Amino acid sequence: MSYQLNRRSLLGLSVATTAAAALAACTPAPTVTKQRILPTDPLIADYETRRDATGKTVTKTLTPEPFSTTMAGKNISTWGYNGSLVAPTLRGTVGDQLNVTVANKLPESTSIHWHGLALRNNADGVPGLTQEAIGAGKDYPYSFKLPHPGTYWYHSHVEMQRERALYGALIIDDPREPLKYDKEWIIVLDDWLDGLTGAPDEVLKELSKGMGGMNHGGGGGGMVMGHMLMGASSDFLGGDAGDVAYPMHLFNGRDSGNPEIITAKPGERIRLRIINAAGDTAYRLGVPNQQLTLTHTDGFPIQHTEVDAVVLSMGERIDALLTVRDGYTPVVALAEGKAQMTYGLVSTGTGTAPLMASLPKTLAGKVVDGGQLTADPSVTLAAKTPDRVHELRLTGGMANYDWGINGHRFDMAKPFENAVDIKVGERVEVKFVNDTMMWHPMHIHGHTFQVGATGARKDTVIVRPKQIVTVQFDADNPGQWLFHCHNAYHAERGMMGVFSYLT
Ligand SMILES: [Cu+2]
495 Cα–ligand 1 center, Å: 7
Whole-angstrom distance, CA of residue 162 vs CA of residue 154: 10
Choose one of 353, 373, 393: the last residue of a domain. 373
pLDDT at 309: 98
- Predicted confidence (pLDDT) at residue 243 exceeds the cutoff of 80: yes
| Greater model confidence, 211 or 260 | 260
> Is 50 in the same domain as 167?
yes
Q: Are residues 292 and 388 in the same domain?
A: no
Examine residue 455 and state whether it is found in any structural domain, yes or no. Answer: yes
**Domain of 133: which CATH number?**
2.60.40.420
Residue 22 CA to ligand 1 center (angstroms) comes to 36
Is 60 in the same domain as 166? yes
Judged by DSSP in three states, 278 sits in coil
For residue 405, the CA-to-ligand 1 centroid distance in Å is 10
Per-residue pLDDT, 227: 87
**CA 21 – ligand 1 centroid, Å:** 34
**Could you report the per-residue pLDDT of 302-358, keeping only the tens digit for each?**
999 999 999 999 999 999 999 999 999 999 999 999 999 999 999 999 999 999 899
Q: How far is the CA of 44 from the centre of ligand 1 (A)?
A: 30
In this predicted structure, the answer to whether residue 28 has a pLDDT above a threshold of 60 is: no
314 CA → ligand 1 middle, Å: 10
Answer whether 0.85 is exceeded by the pTM: yes
Place 230 in a pLDDT band, splitting at 50, 70 and 90. Answer: confident
Backbone angles phi, psi at 133, to 5 degrees: -60, 150
Q: How far is the CA of 487 from the centre of ligand 1 (A)?
A: 5
- pLDDT of residue 3 exceeding 70: no
pLDDT class for 27, splitting at 50, 70, 90?
Answer: low
Q: Is residue 201 part of a domain?
A: no
Instruction: Find the 439 Cα to ligand 1 centroid distance in Å.
Output: 6
**Residue 252 Cα to ligand 1 middle (Å):** 24
* Cα dist from 177 to 56, 169, 181, 189, whole Å: 18, 19, 10, 25
Are the C-beta atoms of residues 290 and 307 closer than 8 Å to each other?
no
Question: How far, in Å, from the CA of 264 to the mean position of ligand 1?
Answer: 38
The residue segments making up the domain with residue 366 are 183-193+248-373
pLDDT score, position 225: 76
Q: Is pLDDT of 481 > 50?
A: yes
Confidence of residue 221 (pLDDT cuts 50, 70, 90): low
The rounded Å distance from CA 394 to ligand 1 centre is 8
pLDDT for residue 32: 62
In a domain, 225, yes or no: no
Q: What is the CA(442)–ligand 1 centre distance, in A? A: 7
Instruction: Tell me how far the alpha carbon of residue 251 lies from the centroid of ligand 1, in angstroms.
Output: 23
- Taking the centre of ligand 1 as the mean of its atom positions, its distance from the CA of residue 163, in whole angstroms, is 15
Instruction: Give pLDDT, residue 12.
Output: 41
Q: Do strands 460-463 and 496-502 pair parallel, antiparallel, or not at all (unpaired)?
A: unpaired
Count of domains forming the chain: 3
Query: What's the 278 CA to ligand 1 centre distance in angstroms?
Result: 13
**String of b and e for 83-108 (b: at least 16 CB within 10 Å)?**
bebbbbebbbbbbbbbebebebbbee
61 and 152 share one domain: yes
